[in-house]
Amino acid sequence: MNSITHSILNMFKCSNRSSSCKTNFMASALALILLLTGAYAQDNGDFTDSFRIDDRTFVNDAYHPLWSLVPGTILAYAGIEDGETVEQIITVIDETFMVIGVETRVVEERGIEDGELVEVSRNYFAICEETNDVYYFGEDVDDYENGEIVGHESAWLSGVDGATPGILVPGTALLGSRFFQEVAPGLAEDRVEVVSLSATVETPLGTFENALELFETTPLEPDVEDTKFFFPGVGLIKDDPLDLVSAVPEIDFEAIAGTGYNQIDPEFTDDFRIEECTFINVGRNPYFILEPGFQIFLEGDDDGEFAEKIVTVLDETRLVDGVETRVIEEMEFVDGELLEVSRNFFAICQETNDVFYFGEDVDVYEDGEIVDHPGVWLAGVNGAKPGILIPGTVLLGAKYYQETDLETALDRAENNALDSEVVTPFGTFSETFETLETSPLEPGDESIKNYAAGIGLVFDDVIFLTELTEASTDLVDSGDGDLVGEDITHPDGNVYNQILLTGQSVTMRTDGSEI
């Protein structure tokens, strides 16, 4: 685990070595030079298996389009398996249970075979307010025979014997995402892959178009496979061989008509349900900072030429497709000569923490003169829609469009790794989030980008992070935290304290007003 990019969540520059400088957040924030926000997930082979909870806020009684935790919700299922009638009843009960400091909602599941009760489980869930992921904290299981409890197979609980929470369903479903739902080594290790956002599912209640399909496996039983289907506004609609047969409250098919995923590409997610988002243009995602004045500098050798890029978050916004976006300027130089200036438009979805990309204006230069505007696109113009630059929760294998203009801009990304080491002039980052970018408009072209928690882009094909500038001095971050690890001395001589945020933080102005 790298002390710069994973276990350290935040770093503040201290001008002295006093303990008050190290522990007083507002005093440290006034001299803010760098704030690192910890990575949110780790990977276990091909599946993400570790998800942050210490800096998350959880709710246990909220509606979620794929897994409601509103007490009184009841979903009943029935089917035929090996000649036997099987039933399952899922009930969100009016009861909570504390697991590793999180007040979770109890969801009861009853399994019935040929009319006989065979299993009752009490499952513990909570919804992350920052990302809208449904976290799974464990389950108590009673196995029945002839009305008597005979065992507790597959019971597990976060915080016991190394078990940690998994994610049942993500806040943003992205094709190719692979993640563990249960993280209890040797007891419960269910894991899933998002294989479709355009499945058609027929049930006794009706036909659901454009449903989410999850393919489920477990390393504990390599030969066992399962497929589950979810539909927004309903939840689980099919768990082979079980079909949804009744629901409380009743399903209003007129209300949910057309609310499925409007997915077109079978491999890369292009529908992000932005109608469910409240957008902000000042804030930060773990791997993307959207605070005016923040600036990064990257340099490198590109086939013998000296390439530079300067990325600046401007104190400027632009209304795009009804959303007030933040303008980020990128300036690219080759051998000291200005090559391109682009103005890019971003906003963060408050519900999921996804960073949405709404378009860009591009000016290409020759000899100091503007000569072209390639790749210009804007959401809401010519059918273009916002894409996701960085997801709120980074999951291995996720595939998604960053740009969605069919004629001029179709960049798309795949999450390749969460632990790639990148050595830059600014420092060494051992656990960066890596994407592979391609575009159907430029077949064969590939680009690798690496992002470090709390900083953002640290590597872009051939250029590396060399320097950064803090956000505007009247913007600071305030919250509760503890010192962790040793101080880090940057090559420029600056000393950074490692401060772990243990609660929520807010971005404020130095006059005390909140952004």
- pLDDT-derived band at 259 (thresholds 50, 70, 90) equals confident
pLDDT of residue 311: 98
Of 199, 276, 267, nearest in space to 233 by CA:
276
- pLDDT-derived band at 55 (thresholds 50, 70, 90) equals confident
Beta strands in 114-255 (DSSP E): 116-128, 134-145, 148-151, 156-157, 164-169, 178-180, 182-183, 191-203, 206-217, 226-231, 235-239, 242-248
What residues are paired with 483 via a beta bridge? 499
Both ends of the chain: CA-CA distance in Å?
33
pLDDT of residue 257: 81
The Cα–Cα gap between 228 and 41 comes to 23
Does residue 3 surpass a pLDDT of 80? Answer: no
pLDDT of residue 477: 47
Does residue 103 surpass a pLDDT of 50? Answer: yes
Q: Peptide bond preceding 249: is omega within 30 degrees of 0, i.e. cis? A: yes
φ, ψ of residue 320 in degrees (nearest 5): -130, 120
Between residues 13 and 399, the one the model is more confident about:
399
Q: Does pTM top 0.85 for this prediction?
A: no
pLDDT of residue 14: 36
Q: Which of 31-40, 86-95, 389-398, 401-410 has the lowest mean pLDDT?
A: 31-40
The one-letter amino acid code at 475 reads L
Over residues 326-358, the pLDDT tens digits come to 999 999 999 999 999 999 999 999 999 999 999
User: Average pLDDT in the 201-209 region?
Assistant: 94
User: Average pLDDT in the 364-380 region?
Assistant: 96
Structure tokens at 247: 């629901």
3-state secondary structure of 29: helix
193-to-83, 84, 197, 211, 509 alpha-carbon distances in Å: 29, 29, 12, 14, 42
The Cα–Cα gap between 452 and 419 comes to 10
- pLDDT-derived band at 42 (thresholds 50, 70, 90) equals low
Does residue 481 surpass a pLDDT of 80? Answer: no
148-to-49, 118, 143, 353, 430 alpha-carbon distances in Å: 35, 9, 8, 46, 52
Q: What is the b/e burial string over 31-40, where b = at least 16 CB atoms within 10 angstroms of the residue's CB?
A: ebbbbbbbbb
The Cα–Cα gap between 106 and 60 comes to 9
The Cα–Cα gap between 170 and 177 comes to 9
Domains of the chain: 10-34+473-509 (no CATH), 47-256 (no CATH), 274-469 (2.40.360)
Structure tokens at 386: 């916002």
The Cα–Cα gap between 322 and 274 comes to 12
pLDDT of residue 460: 97
Most confident range (mean pLDDT) of 6-20, 26-40, 281-295 is 281-295
Structure tokens at 498: 């490692």
Average pLDDT of the chain is 87
The Cα–Cα gap between 392 and 378 comes to 22
DSSP state of 268: S
- pLDDT-derived band at 255 (thresholds 50, 70, 90) equals confident
Q: Peptide bond preceding 443: is omega within 30 degrees of 0, i.e. cis? A: no
3-state secondary structure of 513: coil
- pLDDT-derived band at 27 (thresholds 50, 70, 90) equals very low
User: Average pLDDT in the 242-260 region?
Assistant: 91
Q: What percent of the chain has a predicted confidence (pLDDT) above 90?
A: 79
pLDDT of residue 254: 84
- Spatial contact of 3 and 485, defined as CB atoms under 8 Å apart: yes
What residues are paired with 347 via a beta bridge? 356
pLDDT of residue 26: 29
Does residue 484 surpass a pLDDT of 60? Answer: no
Q: What percent of the chain has a predicted confidence (pLDDT) above 70?
A: 83
Between residues 293 and 54, the one the model is more confident about:
293
pLDDT of residue 474: 59
pLDDT of residue 403: 97
- Spatial contact of 268 and 436, defined as CB atoms under 8 Å apart: no
Over residues 438-463, the pLDDT tens digits come to 999 999 999 999 999 999 999 999 99
Does residue 487 surpass a pLDDT of 80? Answer: no
What are the DSSP calls for 40-99, one per residue?
SEEEETTEEEEE--TT--EESS---SSS---TT-EEEEEEEETTEEEEEEEEEEEEEEEE
- pLDDT-derived band at 10 (thresholds 50, 70, 90) equals very low
Does residue 15 surpass a pLDDT of 90? Answer: no
φ, ψ of residue 42 in degrees (nearest 5): -115, 175
- Spatial contact of 511 and 474, defined as CB atoms under 8 Å apart: yes
Over residues 56-87, the pLDDT tens digits come to 999 999 999 999 999 999 999 999 999 999 99
pLDDT of residue 200: 95
